[in-house]
Amino acid sequence: MLRENRTRKGEERMETVRAVVLRGMGGPLNMEILRMEGPRDDEVLVSVVASGICHTDIDLCDDWDEETGPVVLGHEGAGIVEKTGGKVEGVVPGDRVVLSYQSCGLCPPCRAGRPFACLRFFEANFGFRRLDGSNALERSGVRGHFFGQSSFADRSLATERNLVKVPGDLHLEMLAPLGCGMQTGAGTVMNALAVRPGQGIAVFGTGAVGLAAVMAARIAGARPVVGVDVLPRRIALALELGATHGIDGRREDVRSRIGDIAGRGVHYVIDTTGDPGLARIAAAVLRPGGTAAFLAGTGAPASLPGGRKAVEIIQGNAVPQRFIPEMISWHRSGRFPFDRLVKFYDFGDIDRAVADAKRGDTIKPVLRWSGRGERKDS
């Protein structure tokens, strides 16, 4: 598996990587063999076992433009450390890791322990290059470093800032979605909103992020927990995973139903859909002083009436190295059964996985490399 070549420059080491490359709007997503620079001093080469597909990957695929050029997407990677750069201290080859979002590590929020508020967050995660402007996949004319990982590949270059060591007794491929989708939904409830027992919450959109929020709301003791969606199957799942009430936004009047359920309104609304119509409904179903959190990356409305707050939350205000182990401990105690959302696909079937996710047939597709089996006892 491990192939290295001396290049003309002599010192620079190149690795071979099998990756899913996006070269045009909407796809196709083709498997290609690329040449990737080996890990720099602060980097970690990870042998990818699995990667979740998140809606951000799908949206970028559909919004691709020529200027972006060919890219490798993927930002919910899980794998095994293969090589480390000279200055890496926290992990060694063989360690099992989950990859999360990237941050600069140097700006004031990063230094204050708030990497989710990194001043260079956009560049670090959506720049398709390192923060110094370089790109490890340059030799192949492809851009990587998406969320500091580009995990739709059999090898990924990460840094210590965006990887989290995980215990050896859990299925790595199952842990992949913790790095973005689960963290975003559950982190919003626990960190950003700090929901307390007995407070009411409505979650708009019960896909992966919304269901993570529903499960976290149950752990936090919220009541009522209202799940709103347009797919009956997902509403049913929300009810199984912790929602006290489910509303079908296509058949029922969301505003009056939440009024029936929560009287003076809910303390919190979490919108995972980015639908502007739902932003208006959020304002109407919040009690005065309540907060609506917008997670779809489309921003929050400038203001809401009556002392209600609108906030945009990035990555659930979570510090991955703290929050991912916390989600794992909930999972171990049976309170965060996110495995119920996952369906596995081979990396070669990524087009089918994306189509299933777009239709809502699969809530959290996870791609895996066949033959990179689990070492459950290691």
Work out whether 104 is an interface residue with Zn ion (CB under 5 A): yes
Contact string 135-154 vs Zn ion (x = CB under 5 A): --------------------
**CB-based contact 177:367 (threshold 8 Å):** no
Smallest gap from residue 110 Cβ to Zn ion (A): 3
The minimum distance between CB 108 and Zn ion, in angstroms, equals 8
Q: Smallest gap, in angstroms, from Cβ of residue 310 to Zn ion? A: 21
Query: Distances in Å between the alpha carbon of 343 and those of 210, 268, 272?
Result: 17, 30, 20
Q: Does 118 bind Zn ion (CB under 5 A)?
A: yes
Q: Of the candidates 78, 110, 172, 341, which one interacts with Zn ion according to CB under 5 A? A: 110
**Does the footprint of Zn ion cover residue 180 (CB under 5 A)?**
yes
Stretch binding Zn ion (CB under 5 A), from 81-89, 109-117, 285-293, 305-313: 109-117
Using the rule CB under 5 A, give the single segment among 11-19, 39-47, 54-62, 213-221 that binds Zn ion.
54-62
Can you tell me the distance from the alpha carbon of 225 to that of 239, in angstroms, rounded to the nearest whole number? 9
CB-side neighbour CA atoms (13 Å) of 27: 14
Are 271 and 301 spatial neighbours (Cβ–Cβ below 8 Å)? no
* Piece in contact with Zn ion (CB under 5 A), picked from 178-186, 239-247, 256-264, 350-358: 178-186
Among 342, 345, 338, 291, CA closest to 183? 338
Which listed residue (107, 170, 236, 311) binds Zn ion by CB under 5 A?
Answer: 107
- Single out the segment in contact with Zn ion by CB under 5 A; choices: 114-122, 187-195, 280-288, 345-353: 114-122
By the rule CB under 5 A, 56 interacts with Zn ion: yes
Nearer to Zn ion, 280 or 358 (CB): 358
User: Shortest Cβ distance from residue 329 to Zn ion (Å)?
Assistant: 22
Q: Which of 153, 109, 131, 174 is nearest to 43 (CA)?
A: 131
3-state SS, residue 369 = coil
DSSP string, 51-111: EE--HHHHHHHHH--TTT-SB-----EEEEEEEE-TT--S--TT-EEEE-----S-SHHHH
Among 29, 50, 54, 357, binds Zn ion (CB under 5 A): 54
Shortest Å, Cβ 183 to Zn ion: 9
| Eight-state DSSP code of residue 38 | P
Write down the least CB distance from residue 290 to Zn ion, Å: 26
How many residues bind Zn ion, per CB under 5 A? 8
Whole-number Å distance between alpha carbons of 222 and 219: 8
Sign (positive or negative) of CA dihedral 203, 337, 164, 196:
positive
119 Cβ partners below 8 Å, 6+ apart? 104, 107, 108, 109, 110
Query: Using CB under 5 A as the criterion, which residues of the chain lie in contact with Zn ion when the complex forms?
Result: 54, 56, 103-104, 107, 110, 118, 180
